[in-house]
């Protein structure tokens, strides 16, 4: 299954290199999200009531991994290698605002609504959250790829937009089409293998005596590891904006596409769908949004900012294991 995930992301990167930025980051983010949705739905279908929080745990894990782990590592690599990490605050700020809004609507509000007992949405509320997620994600994609594409392109240290990459020639149209077909096959392989892997993941977590939320962390780490490698490669080449596009785009796709998919799947899945975060995770989410906002505003970062993000990232699995 890990091989299928790596193959899927590899072929997504080939397609991404062909279409260029910011379309490339979008292709990779959507491919990763399809894998994530397949894993969540498969585990929920087999898990019954004990998997009622799986979608919430996985989506929140993806947000923490991308907004703190990938962002922190990318800023650290770029700042240590090039002095400071530079990026476009307009595009990055728009992406962060969208992620914060989606996370609040989908993961925070269910804790406080009263139409249904527990941290759950009613059917009408869940439909609204799903449609809002799709609309916001669609608006962001239109902004990123059409109206303000230059906001999401890498920039030089003088603030000039880099419109083309010089490190390697883009693959041919034929190679890109072949990779597109192989990407589809790899995604089908991930979906099929998820059925066999899901009992192993859950039994391993149970045998270790860990909280069930750790299953969501494992899924998110598995799915996002190849994308993390792609972001670090971009950071090493001083293309921090590409790294941030990958990180925040994945967080956005994880919420904006996973929540509607899970909402649709809940029609035939038995058991409750718990989306509301607990108090500890809400504090982590709020702190992440505040810290990320302060990181984005200047348009450049030092190892200090990366260290703050990485500490927040480390706090999440520590609290998942020891709630």
pLDDT tens column, 187-241: 777 767 766 776 777 788 888 877 777 877 877 777 777 778 878 888 998 889 9
Total domains, the chain? 1
What is the Cα–Cα distance from 227 to 307, expressed in whole angstroms? 20
Where in 199-309 does DSSP place strands (E)?
300-301
Write out the two tokens for 301: 């970062």
Residue range of the domain that includes 156 = 2-321
Whether 78 and 302 have beta carbons less than 8 Å apart is answered as no
Predicted structure pTM score: 0.84
Model pLDDT for residues 288-311, shown as the tens digit of each residue:
999 999 999 999 999 999 999 999
Mean pLDDT over all residues of the chain?
Answer: 84
Higher pLDDT, 190 or 137: 137
* Paired strand residues for 86: 300
Greatest mean pLDDT range, 117-121, 164-168, 216-220: 117-121
Nearest to 195 by CA among 10, 37, 7, 43: 43
CATH, residue 226: 1.20.1420.30
């Amino acid at each position: 299954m890990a091989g299928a995930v790596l193959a899927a992301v590899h072929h997504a990167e080939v397609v991404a290199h062909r279409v260029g930025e910011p379309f490339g980051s979008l292709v990779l983010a959507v491919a990763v999200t399809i894998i994530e949705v397949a894993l969540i739905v498969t585990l929920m279908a087999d898990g019954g009531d004990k998997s009622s929080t799986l979608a919430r745990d996985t989506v929140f894990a993806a947000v923490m991994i991308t907004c703190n782990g990938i962002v922190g590592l990318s800023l650290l690599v770029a700042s240590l290698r090039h002095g400071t990490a530079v990026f476009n605050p307009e595009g990055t700020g728009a992406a962060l605002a969208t992620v914060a809004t989606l996370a609040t609507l989908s993961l925070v509000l269910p804790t406080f609504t009263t139409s249904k007992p527990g941290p759950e949405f009613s059917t009408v509320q869940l439909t609204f959250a799903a449609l809002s997620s799709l609309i916001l994600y669609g608006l962001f994609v239109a902004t990123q790829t059409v109206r303000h594409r230059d906001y999401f392109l890498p920039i030089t240290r003088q603030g000039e937009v880099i419109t083309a990459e010089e490190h390697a020639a883009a693959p041919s149209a034929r190679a890109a089409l072949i990779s597109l077909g192989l990407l589809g096959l790899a995604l089908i392989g991930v979906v099929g293998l998820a059925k066999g892997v899901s009992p192993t993941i859950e039994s391993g977590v149970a045998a270790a005596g860990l909280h069930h939320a750790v299953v969501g962390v494992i899924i998110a780490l598995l799915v996002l590891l190849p994308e993390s490698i792609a972001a670090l490669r971009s950071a090493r080449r001083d293309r921090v904006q590409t790294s941030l596009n990958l990180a925040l785009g994945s967080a956005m796709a994880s919420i904006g596409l996973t929540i509607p998919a899970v909402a649709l799947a809940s029609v035939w899945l038995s058991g409750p769908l718990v989306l509301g975060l607990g108090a500890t995770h809400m504090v982590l989410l709020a702190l992440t949004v505040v810290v990320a906002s302060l990181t984005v505003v200047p348009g450049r970062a030092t190892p200090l900012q990366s260290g703050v993000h990485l500490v927040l990232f480390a706090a999440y699995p520590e609290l998942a294991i020891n709630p």
